Amino acid sequence: MQIEKITRKGYSASLSKDQLWDIYKSMKTQRLLEDRLLKMYKGGQLSGAVYPGIGQEASMAGIAAGMDEKDIFGGTHRDLGVQIKKGVTLKEIALNFFGKHDGPSKGRDGNSHFGVVDKGTLMVVSPLPDSAPVAVGWALASQQSGSGVVAVANCGEGATATGTWHESINMAGVLNLPVVFTVQNNQFAYSSPNETEFGTPNVADRAAGYGIPAKIIDGNDIYEVIDVMHEACESAREGNGPSLIELVTFRHYGHAGHDPAEYVNEEVRDFWMKRDPIARFEDSLVDEGLFSTEQFVSLAEDLEAEIREALEWAKTQDDPDPSNEVEDMFADRTTPTISNDETNTKTMNYIEAITNGLDELMENDENVFMMGEDIGVFEGAFKATKGLFNKYGPFRVIDTSISEGGFTGAAVGAALAGKKPIVELQFYDFVYPALDQITTEAAKYFWKAGKSVPMVVRGPTGAGTRSGPFHSISPESLLAHHPGIRVVAPSNPYDAKGLLVAAVNDPNPVMYLEHKKLYRKPDLKMEVPLGLYEVEIGKGKVVRQGTDITLVTWSGMVPVANEAAEVLSKEDISVEIIDIRTIVPLDEEIILNSVEKTSNLCILQEDVPFSSIASEISSVVAEKGFWNLDNPILKVTPPNTHIPFAPVLEDAFIPSVEKVVKALKELQ
């Protein structure tokens, strides 16, 4: 079989003999390792799946070789070659495939779904290309700090059809970020050929729509891949912004170990087998007189022995301990709590307290920055960022395009890179496009990869402003269902600022909910301390002492609860109101102690009833405080419907003082 020739011309021509050997070794290691893993999978010796990148070694090794050591890589399940070239060891890979405790994902995800952030590779997840926004966020952090780090966001051609890829590359183009988008076009997204995936002849044709340069290259020519990658990375490092590289390549096997790839015709396969990247590299190295065939054979024998040894060793290592799963969900805070003598105060309403908190946080820590739609010159839909753009500028108060998934994912990457991003959602209803990044990336990073993600996603929630079903959600139960994120919902100006400061200083992702009816509520003004202070996340508060009934609530329902309690006090019914303030973690102790005192429980929430926070609180009390109850637990909630627009319908939807009073009387 005639092998197509390749030659060194650009940056690759300056590589030393040792550097070329190292690149060749990484390619050969990948091939032999994946060949072995594939055989083990087919022989029933491996759980999970195997996604062989055999045939794409030049694309992977070349991408890594064109990057600087400090650069970061966000990849997919077929990028073991980059992991190897970036320094991830055979033992680390083997441990992950066997789901062992000391593997990169600690047994919490299998096969190639891992990254080693300390070695420059981001966590791999199944939804592709979910690491792209994270890479964009790391590039944003690099731009802000001037670190010189370039991020590489890699995927296959099939993933470029997703909104995630579009939002990522569009955001990078708008902000001129130091990121390189690489697309390994191996002709098939699973079984779908290119013509069913996108309407342009090439992936790279779309770069013009993002205002960035692009190149289409031979992904099986190791030298061309290295040269083009090096040029793109250095251009990004010099401040010239992102670029797109389409690496045309071919996988020798199917999408995964169970896929026989019968959809590939023999003519196509023969064409690409003549362009086998390892054979072409070997041929070139021999032609230059740098290495001999005997050296290649000797290296293969050594690598096969090393691979066998690593896999055999990994099988005998410790399995994960199930008892560690819950405690590993959240990173522990290591910084001290911020205190304040609270002698210097100012009267503020709810939104003023939030703005003041944002201002002081940014003033005290240059790593704190904000992203969101219309938060700059316009100062946000509700003016929560009033004055901040003029004070801190466009690099710390960043106006984004309409791309909740893109900028929320970017917050994950920026947080991993050492920043403290605050994302503003224009309305919390718009969290749905961002949920993929919140739950797939932010919520799982510490649990799976051992890296904390200190970020805050804040924005307006709640009904009562005649905003209809798409601007009125109470999302707490939706968010609380996903492990790995904290959820807070302050009900007054003092707590709003204190919980915001605590959220930004927490090492975990925090969802911060601001009820829009509280923003400028005329009778909700308080003395708020100037200077930073914290309200502890996970601690509720007794906002009204009582002896007859415990009423648990939070956020926009606290004023309703207070009004109802005042009405009942005239009838000698004493209501104790608990403002839980934090949904996750939930302060169970304060609720149980109150129920022990009153023997009656009612839960008031604005969210719909089914599978809700009220359901969870009821469950906790039924399990741990049942014998203290004199009556069944009552819940006052809206009906299980969407939030309507017409005033008469919305007023009927939201729990009213009258409904609360009626329910509480049933407990007497």
Query: Residues with Cβ < 8 Å from 537, sequence gap 6 or more?
Result: 486, 488, 499, 502, 503, 506, 510, 582, 585
Q: What is the DSSP letter of 253?
A: S
Residue whose C-alpha is closest to residue 225's, from 67, 97, 83, 399 = 67
Instruction: Spot the catalytic one: 77, 113, 230, 471.
Output: 471
Q: How far apart are CA 355 and CA 361, in angstroms?
A: 10
CB atoms closer than 10 angstroms to residue 597: 15
Cα–Cα distance list, 528 to 39, 82, 240, 441 (Å): 66, 52, 45, 35
Q: How far apart are CA 451 and CA 442, in angstroms?
A: 10
Residue whose C-alpha is closest to residue 555's, from 487, 612, 602, 642 = 487
Q: How far apart are CA 308 and CA 90, in angstroms?
A: 10
Contact 533, 498 (CB under 8 A): yes
Is position 471 annotated as part of the catalytic site? yes
Q: How far apart are CA 506 and CA 509, in angstroms?
A: 8
Q: How far apart are CA 383 and CA 354, in angstroms?
A: 10
Query: Residues with Cβ < 8 Å from 659, sequence gap 6 or more?
Result: 636
**β 192-193/188-189 pair status:** antiparallel
CB atoms closer than 10 angstroms to residue 329: 15
Query: Known catalytic residues?
Result: 471
